[in-house]
Amino acid sequence: MKKKVLSMFLASAMALSIVACGSSNSGADTQPAASEQTPAAETKEEAAPAAETAEPEVASELTDGKFADTRKITVEIYDRGNDGGSDPENNMYTEYIKKGMLEEHNVEVTFKKVPRWTEVDDINNLLAAGEAPDICVTYSYPTVLTYAQMGGVIDLSEMIESYKGELPNLWGWLGETNMLWDKDPKTGTVWAIEGKRAEQQRIVTFVRQDWLDKLGLEAPKTTQEFEDMLVAFKDNADKLLGSDASKLVPFSTSYDIGWRASNLITSYMDPNITDKEYYINGFDDRMVTQTSTKEAVRLLNKWYNAGLMWKDFALYGSGDTTEDDMIKAGYVGAFQHNWDYVFRNGEDSINANLKRNVGEDAKFVPVDCFQNSANKYSKWLYSSAGDRKIFFPTTNTEPLASLLYLDFISKPETIKYLQAGDEGVTHEVLDSGAIQIIAATGDAIQNSGKNIDYTITCNGTNFGDEKLAALSLAYGYAEADPELVDQANKIAMADGLEPKNVNVGEVTAEAGVGDTLSSKRDQIYDNAVVAAEADFDSTWDSFMSDYLSAGGQAIIDERTEKWAEYFGDADMLP
């Protein structure tokens, strides 16, 4: 009955909160929401229903880590719709988890797939219907905050402390930093546990080495050299593509400009930007309200109007393969994307496709060319701490079993198996001891890089051993050149900037507006880039005004107040 009542309440509440919702996730698996998390606060009276719905069990119910009676839980898993991929709910890796959980904890696990590119909308609907998985995952903390304010999320603060002795792997891997990353400094509530990033790389610029060679060009080392290269690609389309010259795209991007042009945008930022300024405008990691961003986008607008960019970039949304197909066919000269993007998916990777479709020498290589005013190639990294947000809806009646699940997937041997699989099937061990990933087939195929959809507490190469991971990083992509992977890794980390966790408690203005603002943010970027050069300023200002009035300014104002409350006149954190 309680589940039914909660479902009716959430359905009514969400009808008001998601009218304008729509997925705006980029193709980046990496894609977090804001780098700094701002947990929700809730009064004790408001928190009571959650505690009543999922009353903590005593650890004494476990004997050698196992329940006497079989418990059952459901776990969210992303469905990426990969052609030729494995069934996300039933494959070699899900069987490993199911078997291990049953043997070690007497917990029966069922996976519930949620489309990756519409995950926020789908979780909204499942939660409203009382059918959300017991363990939910999202990149968006404002999403969790919205649910929490509706009474739909369990406060984990007492449980993770009370069961600490039963969760040695979870606490050992995440540590206090990640376990308590979102702990409200006033109320002590913990609405979500933050996964940990084993890798911090974000964006790299890739260019066609074979095109550089054909035109006798060196890899660009400055923004001007990059622009000159794009002009050369355009002016030599016949030489580069012959009869397909009309299909040539010097520089490609997607509707998600703030992500895909991140390194360019960062190069325009003040090298000495304060923690305060970055935080106040940092609720969206696409940096749209940072003061320097407009000028970076002005350059993109210039390139677009000069015919140096893909004309149709804004027409294709999340999950669409049009751009990737164009890149794989060999029509694109340069693009920015996730640091390992050209190496992903083995035989279907970008570079593997180019080799088949164009020739042995066709490949994208990483370059570092966007310098800031201090002559550094600065780029924002992921925080080494916060990653995906793992939360339990109040319909979860097995919170201890769910925590034991998180502990199980955080075991070193579990992480290693989920990332590496079986020797001879999904990997080989080199003489150095490094693990080299090889192409897999059938239910051994990993639908996400490094199987991050299953290793939800670990994002990036780990193999249960940091030294082994470092040794193996360059060999982590089937069909990829380890030297190119190593170059991309080094470039992605060069002059890296790591965002800090600014925990000031609940920022109420952020709840319920995440998707709306993400959509409006993309509209700012896309419309400004495609505007006539003479209309750039008016276009940017008009769409920015709409963004700010839709909730962006309220967030900026509240973050400003929160900073003053906790840090006074300080501009930098200790």
Burial grade of 560 (CB within 10 A; 0-12, 13-18, 19 or more): middle
Q: Report which of 101, 5, 6 is spatially closest to residue 394, judged by C-alpha positions.
A: 6
- State mean pLDDT over 309-313: 98
- Tell whether the model's pLDDT for residue 57 goes beyond 60: no
Burial of 219 (0-12, 13-18, 19+ CB in 10 A): middle
User: pLDDT tens, 58-68?
Assistant: 556 899 999 99
The predicted-structure confidence for 323-358, as pLDDT tens digits, reads as follows: 999 999 999 999 999 999 999 999 999 999 999 999
Q: Is the pLDDT of residue 4 over 90?
A: no
Q: What is the mean pLDDT of the chain?
A: 90
Q: What is the structure's pLDDT at 147?
A: 86
Are the C-beta atoms of 93 and 454 separated by less than 8 Å?
A: yes
- At 52 the pLDDT is 44
Q: Whole-model pTM? A: 0.85
Residue 39: pLDDT band by 50, 70, 90 thresholds? Answer: very low
Q: How far apart are CA 256 and CA 287, in angstroms?
A: 12
Sign of the CA dihedral 298, 208, 377, 503? positive
pLDDT tens figures, 473-529: 999 999 999 999 999 999 999 999 999 989 998 899 998 888 899 999 999 999 999
- Of 135, 116, 142, the closest CA to residue 28 belongs to 116
Question: Residue 51's pLDDT band (boundaries 50, 70, 90)?
Answer: very low
Where does the pLDDT of residue 115 fall: very low under 50, low under 70, confident under 90, or very high at 90 and above?
very high
Instruction: Report whether pLDDT(275) > 50.
Output: yes
The reported pLDDT for the residue numbered 15 is: 42
Residue with tokens 């350059």: 299
Query: What does the pLDDT read at residue 23?
Result: 34
Residue 527: CB atoms within 10 A of its CB come to 16
* 487's tokens: 């170059």
pLDDT band at 553 (very low <50, low <70, confident <90, very high): very high
Residue found by looking up tokens 């004790």 in the block: 44
Backbone angles phi, psi at 540, to 5 degrees: -60, -50
Per-residue DSSP letters for 179-220? HTTT--TTT-----EEPEES----EEEEEEHHHHHHHTPPPP
Mean pLDDT of 407-428: 97
CATH number 3.40.50.300 given to 203-378: no
Nearest-angstrom CA–CA distance, 287 and 380: 11
Q: For residue 33, give the DSSP letter.
A: S
Q: How far apart are CA 282 and CA 552, in angstroms?
A: 11
Backbone angles phi, psi at 190, to 5 degrees: -130, 100
What 3-state class would DSSP assign to 19? coil
Average pLDDT score over residue span 536-563: 98
CA distances from 194 to 138, 294, 386, 506 (A): 10, 32, 5, 16
pLDDT attached to residue 117: 85
- What does the alpha-carbon distance between residue 513 and residue 142 come to, in Å, rounded to a whole number? 8
- Mean pLDDT check: name the lowest of 40-54, 385-399, 549-563: 40-54
Distances (CA, A) of 243 to 208, 239, 240, 354: 19, 9, 9, 17
64 exposed, middle or buried (CB, 10 Å; 0-12, 13-18, 19+)?
exposed
Answer whether residue 111 shows pLDDT above 90.
Answer: yes
At 43, the pLDDT band (50, 70, 90 cuts) reads very low
Of 365, 360, 357, which Cα lies nearest the Cα of 241?
357
More reliable by pLDDT, 502 or 386: 502
Residue 316 CB coordination number (10 Å): 14
For 142, the 3-state DSSP assignment is helix
Query: Which H or E run includes 175?
Result: helix 168-179
Distance spanning both ends of the chain, measured CA to CA: 49
- Cα dist from 574 to 158, 185, 270, 276, 570, whole Å: 29, 17, 20, 12, 9
Query: Of the given ranges (7-21, 190-204, 302-316, 377-391), which has the lowest mean pLDDT?
Result: 7-21
Ramachandran angles phi, psi of 426, nearest 5° = -120, -10
* Residue 512 neighbours by CB distance under 10 Å: 23
145/329 Cα distance (integer angstroms): 42
Query: Looking at this protein, which amino acid is placed at residue 338?
Result: N
Q: Which residues pair with 62 in a beta bridge?
A: 67
Length reported for the chain:
574
Helices (H), 18-156: 44-53, 92-105, 119-128, 141-149
239 CB-near residues (< 8 Å, 6+ apart): 214, 215
Q: What is the pLDDT of residue 135?
A: 98
Domains of the chain, residue spans: 203-378
Structure tokens at 463: 């193999």
pLDDT reading at 454 higher than 60: yes
d(CA 549, CA 151): 27
Average pLDDT over residues 392-414: 98
Tell which wins on pLDDT, 83 or 532: 532
Return the amino acid letter for 171: W
What local confidence, expressed as pLDDT, does residue 356 receive? Answer: 97
257-267 confidence digits (pLDDT tens): 999 999 999 99
32-36, 81-85, 303-307, 447-451, range with the lowest pLDDT: 32-36
- Kindly tell me if the per-residue pLDDT of 49 is higher than 50: no
Please report which confidence band the pLDDT of residue 141 belongs to, taking 50, 70 and 90 as the band edges: confident
Choose between 212 and 83: higher pLDDT. Answer: 212
For residue 115, the one-letter residue type is: P
pLDDT of residue 106: 98
Predicted confidence (pLDDT) per residue in 215-239, tens digit: 999 999 999 999 999 999 999 999 9
